Amino acid sequence: MLPLGSVAPDFSLKDQHENTIQLSNLKGRKVLLSFHPLAWTSVCSEQMKSLEAAYDQFEAMNVLPLGVSVDPVPSKKAWAEALGLKKLHILSDFWPHGEVARAFGIFREQDGFSERANVLIDEQGKIVWIKVYPIGQLPDINEILDFLKA
């Protein structure tokens, strides 16, 4: 896992609408990368719905929340529609498989997907908060919001 204060590795991934999101183009904004193992699973679904529910709070603090998993774009699109996601971008780290999760040091080689983790990147592209959660645990969105408010 990358240490706090390190520069977040740049990446370019497609979201559920096939729009390309490049981290380096987001400088000047904070970015929350919310890694989740796999779409269509219960905890991952709740994790993405919690980000969607808090989207306006994040936006008010100049934070762009992004969901990230190894699922392909068509799966992400269907999943986002099934979850009713209107604002949240969910990114496909499908190919090269898990490359972004690997760059952040949170890819689970034995499973073929990322850890469940939240990574907060500041306006200059540095990692200021990172937490890895047990795979079956829903991340508490309030701990991120509280960190941002402090």
Give the active site residue among 33, 44, 66, 90. Answer: 44
Question: Which two structure tokens, joined as six digits, stand for 45?
Answer: 């679904």
Give catalytic status of residue 44 as yes or no. Answer: yes
Distance CA 68, CA 66 (A): 6
- Nearest Cα neighbor of 122 from 46, 36, 64 is 64
Distance CA 1, CA 92 (A): 20
Distance CA 130, CA 73 (A): 25
Catalytic residues: 44
